[in-house]
Structure 1
Amino acid sequence: MTPPQAHTPVQSGSARIGLGIVEFIIIIALMTASISMGIDSMLPALPNIGQSLAVANPNDTQLVIGVYFLGFGICQLFFGSLSDAYGRRNILLGGLAFYTVTLFAAAWSGSLTALLVLRFIQGVGAAAVRITTLAIVRDCFGGREMARVMSYVTIVFMIMPMVAPFVGQVIVAHSNWQWIFIALGIASAALLLIAYLRMKETLTDNERLPLSVSSVISGFKTVLTNRVTCGYMIGLTLFTGVICAYIVSVQQVFGEVYGLGEWFPTAFAATAAGTAVAQFANGYFVRSFGMRRISHVAMIIFTVLGAFGYVAGSAGLPSFLFTYVLISVMLMMFAVITTNFMAISLEPMGHLAGTAAAITSSISTTGGVLLGGIVGQMFDGTPQPLIAGFTIFGALTIAATLWAEKGKLFTHPGDSPQLEPGMGHV
């Protein structure tokens, strides 16, 4: 039997993984950032990729982003269960290895089809990294300490959409798009080496759960039969469609319709900064006003703005300033909505919150990618399809929320001190 004192370092925060707190945060943040870099650094290169691979329909280059999201969304659920059964380190190393190899391989793609296959596998590897890093943080920390660590990690994740397009722009300006994949591959290989040398397993043998199909099915049943969880998951799916439609279309809208050229990364970064500001503001005001009041107001504002923008665009191409401010404000609402919707959806789940989070994230990401991809494929040389998609998704989210809340917006019994049976504080 292991002496009691051998358990002491395992239970003490970052020491559980064998790292100091600063090194722990930096490594986890960089691994999380590598996922975002795999998306946003591609945006300035999409026209170059299309020309290089002789893509007939420019809209097809959107799939370079879309299939990555698809692989990422589908596989999150599986890696959650696998990491619970076989440990975090094994799944993390395997995911980083997949990610690294396919990044290098993508640089030698000779066709769009080959590139898309590799991008899907990159998304699979990214899902393994995302799920295991979250699980590692949860293994090592709890309560306020976990929130503190995740806040630092989230700051880095928010910075990446501001930096990544500049990196891609610099690379395509001085070389070709293949070097983006090579640079990302080198960074991922370095992270793989660091993880192998520095990170220990955080899930002990006695904490592991047997891999069971029945447990996954039971989790799906619980999520899909709870009105609040299911309703807000539908909203999350629709708003994942919003961000996916934006990401796959933004280069064409800003770069081609409005001819931003080398200013595209700056415009993209400023919009990302706006969503970061919205996230921080939400964190400040949510204690005073509650998740439902803030998110319900935000989704109504989002939908009204979308309808206004579509009507304005029907009279002719709006100015860049009008379209840019409209989209930026709508994405700020998006940030507020998704943050609160995820928390609300997990309220009724109690001890199943981990399983429910994996199921909700997997369904909303996969469904959102498909919906966003449909909107992206409708690009016609104007912002109208994107704005129309935003508006429709917003209206459907209002309907789903009304269903979840039995027709009552802005408040809920769970917001008051007296909670419904089976519900808990987030």
Structure 2
Amino acid sequence: MTSTAPAVTPRREIGFKELVALVAMLMAMNALAIDSMLPALPAIGEGLGVGDANQRQWVVTAYLLGFGVTQIIYGPLADRFGRRPVLFSGVAIYVLFSLLAAFAWSFEALLAARVLQGVGAASTRVLAVAIVRDQYEGRRMAQVMSLSFLVFLAVPILAPSVGALILMLGPWRWIFAVLGLFGVAILVWSALRLPETLKPENRMPIDLRRIGAAAWETVSNRLSIGYTLAMAVIVGCLFGFINSAQQVFEVALGNAAIFPIIFAMVGCFMAAASLLNASLVQRLGQRLLSHTALIGFTLFSAGHFAVALSGHETLITFAVLQALTMFCFGFIGGNFGSMAMTPMGHIAGTAAAVQGVISSVGGALIGFFIGQQFDGTTVPMTLGFTVCGLATIAIVLWTERGRLFSAHEAASAEASQI
């Protein structure tokens, strides 16, 4: 691992604002790799001979599976070698396969490159969480993650428009070249400015028994596994929306041209929620905010499903109801993630990896299932959101032993072992 890391020492200690921005950009690498593809899916299908629109969704899902499955590798490596060298290696892999995807000669070759691109990007998810957990915990960690999520949301807001702009200037292959250049920029920034946040005394050898014990602790801790599973289900809604979005606008709503605008509007509502969460979480707490938002998410999803099922779906109803639903989502992600990590500080790298595999792979599969149900209407997507919202509420109730909005005292005191 150490041979691939740039031998650069950061010039001075990174500040709070710059750390937030860098973590946000690490997270944004994934959003850009996913969302910039959406306007290009018809062109990719035409260029590589894929006529079935639902099959084109594999361009998104292949990346998500590579991203999800391999996170378990990066946690133990980050706990052994430190955060910097593992991050640099992962981003380098991301850059390499972004560029190889630009030269894909078949749909199968493109999917293989996308899987491996996701393998490299998986390091950013694990390391972003571990780096923040090295520095902060509890509500302060939730604040950092919310602020990072706010900056990160600027990318998915703009990514479909960026993808559409690139398509106006050149072929779809150029999008992958842009992804590679973005990865290079992040690699240089991290090498110059990011310090090693793992203290030398906290480094752990790669011991399969220790890793297994840490993984078992992660999945046997009630708070950790409960909020990780809840995150997987709720993220599945986001991936379902992403998988379906291009077809929804082109087929169900008959207005593909407005897709980047509505997508950006929905992203703005998510960003606004994250900003509010960052300012309110220290005062109101993660549970009150996220649990209230989860109920709102489910109610708006159910209302949207009723509109779609009744045949009264229009561009306006879709835009308004989807924006309100994803506004609620903006209060959920960062809070669920920080609560899952709260009891895992002593094994942050491995825990972040295990939680990342479960939430990412689970979310990808749920999102792919929702996307594959597309039938020319918004009914499958809105039904999927409603069912997932109800399932997430059930998981949270189990996690908190039947209590919402505040911690169950016994669970909090005993670290919530199952």
Match of 1:99 in 2: 94
Match of 1:42 in 2: 37
Match of 1:402 in 2: 397
Distance 1:408 1:149 in 2: 26
Question: How many pairs were matched up?
Answer: 406
Match of 1:76 in 2: 71
Q: Do structure 1's residue 338 and structure 2's residue 333 form an aligned pair?
A: yes
- Deviation of the 1:48 alpha carbon: 0.9
Match of 1:214 in 2: 209
Distance 2:26 2:301 in 1: 35
Deviations 1:299-344 (A, max 9, x none): 2222222222222222215111111211111111122122222233
Match of 1:17 in 2: 10
- Deviation of the 1:180 alpha carbon: 0.6
- The amino acid that maps onto 2:269 is G
Aligned with 2:258 (options 250, 263, 266): 263
Deviations 1:90-133 (A, max 9, x none): 32232222111111111111221111111010011111233335
- Deviation of the 1:205 alpha carbon: 5.5
CA distance 1:45–1:317, shift in 2 (3 Å): farther
**Contact map agreement 2:129 2:352 (CA 8 A) in 1:** no
- Deviation of the 1:279 alpha carbon: 1.3
- The amino acid that maps onto 1:250 is A
1:173-184 aligned within 5 A: 173-184=168-179
**Contact map agreement 2:270 2:330 (CA 8 A) in 1:** yes
SS at match of 1:58: coil
CA distance 1:358–1:401, shift in 2 (3 Å): same
- Deviation of the 1:295 alpha carbon: 2.2
- The amino acid that maps onto 1:44 is P
TM-score (norm 1): 0.85
Distance 2:196 2:287 in 1: 38
Distance 1:197 1:410 in 2: 42
CA distance 1:94–1:50, shift in 2 (3 Å): same
- The amino acid that maps onto 1:256 is V
Match of 1:245 in 2: 240
Match of 2:104 in 1: 109
- The amino acid that maps onto 1:327 is Q
- The amino acid that maps onto 1:319 is T
Distance 2:298 2:145 in 1: 30
TM-score (norm 2): 0.87
Distance 2:385 2:142 in 1: 31
SS at match of 1:127: helix
Distance 2:128 2:389 in 1: 31
Bigger Rg, which one: 1
SS at match of 1:17: coil
Match of 1:373 in 2: 368
Match of 1:356 in 2: 351
CA distance 1:101–1:346, shift in 2 (3 Å): closer
CA distance 1:135–1:339, shift in 2 (3 Å): closer
- Deviation of the 1:348 alpha carbon: 4.1
- The amino acid that maps onto 1:119 is R
CA distance 1:194–1:383, shift in 2 (3 Å): same
**Contact map agreement 2:240 2:371 (CA 8 A) in 1:** yes
CA distance 1:201–1:102, shift in 2 (3 Å): same
**Contact map agreement 2:102 2:176 (CA 8 A) in 1:** yes
CA distance 1:186–1:142, shift in 2 (3 Å): same
**Contact map agreement 2:126 2:349 (CA 8 A) in 1:** no
- Deviation of the 1:29 alpha carbon: 4.8
Runs of 5+ unmatched residues, structure 1 = 1-14
Superposition RMSD in Å = 3.0
Aligned with 1:229 (options 220, 224, 228): 224
**Contact map agreement 2:140 2:282 (CA 8 A) in 1:** no
1:143-158 aligned within 5 A: 153-158=148-153
